Amino acid sequence: MNDQSTLPVEDGTEAVPGKTRDALRAAHLYYMQDLTMDAIAHELHTSRSSVSRLLSHARASGLVEISIHSPLDLPSRIEQEILERFAVGAHVIPVPDHASDVDRLDRVALSAARILGRFVDSNQTIGIAWGSTMSAMSRHLVPKATHNTEVVQLNGAGNGRTTGIVYASELLRRFGDAFGARVQQFPVPAFFDDPETRRAFWRERSTRRLLDLQERMDVALFGVGSPFAEVPSHVYQGGYLERADYEGLSREGAVGDVATVFYRADGSTDGISLNERATGPDFSVLRRAPRRICVVSGRAKLASLRGALAAGLITDLIVDEGTARALVESPSDRESPEDRE
């Protein structure tokens, strides 16, 4: 079997890679005709291990999508309780309690990458906030063809040590490649040194173009940052914050951030001085997006997650089972940011 070969389709207008052709055939035989891998190997004149690789390729490339429909628990009790208490659609990812935070993150990121396709479509603007969770997720994305779709960076990534361009552009490129989308980078620092510099920069036409895209986004995708997690958010480990910043955040009661905008346990952001220099979108802008997908793993992020829920930032939550269970077992603040305003 030659994985590099291509075959024309019947109308002769394009070529289908041999690996795709063989993966499609193997997937049809396995999932639609219930043939064993040994039987498929015999039919395709190849080895059982090659069939296994073809089936893996079919799943990873989006040729095959697998859904699990349990008759016992639709929706799950935890997902239903999250919906009732927070008005948020939840996808709870099974992860054993003994799993490390590193393994937990990878498993949640993999599941989130496979779920994301159902929220992404043509003619959309998708805002991405960089971070450890989004980086892990970007490595598992399942391709889905769209047209007239844009991926826009939500917050700057530069700091005193690096421009952040390589890190952010690679992450965004993976999302752009997966969905055939144009990528719009936001080449500014994560935090300006002076709030006045930020205000001046925000008046520039080139910056306003990106800010306007953010204000019109259809989907926002982000994690929640926490300084307490075993796998810390990139903003807490990448040289973005000085000791004085940490002291200020602690003094002002911050429990986490979304797109480098910090908030308290009740979801409020006012009076947190670092936000005056931050380049992430104001929460009023973020809440305009019809679909706001938050991906969270690890109980150390529970306080950050509850703060983001209190801020009304989330419409869809992808979270590991242990964190979801802790969320519904803890008291909730039902007051919305709109109520406070």
- 166-175 confidence digits (pLDDT tens): 778 899 999 9
Where does CATH 1.10.10.60 sit in the chain? Answer: 19-61
pLDDT of residue 312: 97
pLDDT of residue 340: 40
Portion of the chain with pLDDT greater than 90, in percent: 62
Q: Which of 322, 321, 279 lies closest to 156, judged by CA? A: 279
Q: Answer yes or no: is pLDDT of 108 > 70.
A: yes
Structure tokens at 85: 């208490």
**pLDDT tens digits along 251-310:** 999 999 999 999 999 999 999 999 999 999 999 999 999 999 999 999 999 999 999 999
- Fold held by 77-328: Rossmann fold (3.40.50)
DSSP state of 30: I
Mean pLDDT of all residues in 109-133 = 94
Superfamily of domain 19-61: Homeodomain-like (1.10.10.60)
What residue type is assigned to position 313 of the chain? L
pLDDT of residue 332: 52
Q: Where are the alpha helices (DSSP H) in 65-204?
A: 77-86, 101-116, 132-138, 165-179, 195-201
Mean pLDDT of all residues in 36-58 = 90
Where does CATH 3.40.50.1360 sit in the chain? Answer: 77-328
Q: Answer yes or no: is pLDDT of 250 > 70.
A: yes
pLDDT of residue 341: 42
pLDDT of residue 337: 44
pLDDT of residue 60: 84
- Who contacts 216 (Cβ-Cβ below 8 Å, separation ≥6)? 125
pTM, two decimal places = 0.79
Pair 150, 182: CB distance under 8 Å: yes
Mean pLDDT of all residues in 82-95 = 94
